A and B are shown apart, each in its own frame.
Chain A
Amino acid sequence: KQEVTQIPAALSVPEGENLVLNCSFTDSAIYNLQWFRQDPGKGLTSLLLIQSSQREQTSGRLNASLDKSSGRSTLYIAASQPGDSATYLCAVNGPGANSKLTFGKGITLSVRP
């Protein structure tokens, strides 16, 4: 059974810092990996999706990488801002092309002004 781990559960950084959020998964036979953002009491917003054949995806100040063989992904946030404060969840699709996602428990990020 696929398991997704995100450590640490919480992170606090000063504004302007570059930071990396980590995600690991146990079964490397995935179809894609997604990073989501969740603000308190709200739904999830998709940030980046990396297909299994890709190594990374970029959107603005965000860059997500994928290393399938080692079962790891990272989300890099450049020049962090207080508005980046949220919970970031990693989710993998697979094994099997069944569209079901397995989520990590998320990392709650706080960016201090």
Chain B
Amino acid sequence: DVKVTQSSRYLVKRTGEKVFLECVQDMDHENMFWYRQDPGLGLRLIYFSYDVKMKEKGDIPEGYSVSREKKERFSLILESASTNQTSMYLCASSLPDTDTQYFGPGTRLTVL
């Protein structure tokens, strides 16, 4: 069974803090994704990666960066957290092309 884990289920941070969200998958998937999910807006793609050290912007990359130093790990970084980044963050992974995406349990981030 594919397993995607996220470092925290709940996180509370202060405005201006640097925040790291970690995602690890155990199925040797090339593709990894970061989404945020907000009521009324659905899931929106922040960044994705097709391979190690490779990244591409999604639909809403502003205020975020990512790091993929190892194939199994994809990190989302909020350089200076703001209250409008309070959200549910979901990580996913998949094989190349058109395979299904497997999601982690999500991290609910609150920025005060």
Residues of A within 8 A of B (CB): 31-32, 34, 36, 41-46, 49, 51, 89, 91, 93-94, 97, 99-101, 103-106
Instruction: Give residues 25-45 of B contacting A (CB, 8 Å).
Output: 31, 33, 40-43, 45
**Shortest Cβ gap from A3 to chain B (Å):** 11
The interface stretch among B60-68, B71-79, B94-102 is B94-102
- A43 & B90 in contact (Cβ 8 Å cutoff): yes
> Which size class do B's interface residues fall under?
20 to 34
- A105 & B106 in contact (Cβ 8 Å cutoff): no
Given known A31-B98, A49-B100, A99-B96, contact A41–B43 (CB-CB < 8 A): no
- B106 & A42 in contact (Cβ 8 Å cutoff): yes
- A101 & B101 in contact (Cβ 8 Å cutoff): yes
- A44 & B41 in contact (Cβ 8 Å cutoff): no
Which chain B residue has the least Cβ–Cβ distance from A42?
Answer: B105
Interface readout for B1-33 with A: 1 if CB under 8 Å, 0 if not? 000100000000000000000000000000101
List 6 interface pairs A-B (beta carbons < 8 Å), by A numbering: A31-B98, A44-B92, A93-B98, A99-B31, A99-B50, A105-B40
Closest 7 CB pairs of A and B: A43-B103, A105-B42, A44-B103, A103-B43, A31-B98, A43-B105, A46-B100
Which chain B residue has the least Cβ–Cβ distance from A30?
Answer: B98
- Tell me which residues across on chain A come within 8 A of B33, comparing CB atoms: 100
Among A32, A36, A43, A94, chain B packs the most CB atoms within 10 A around the CB of A43
Which chain B residue has the least Cβ–Cβ distance from A105?
Answer: B42
B108 at the A interface (CB under 8 A): yes
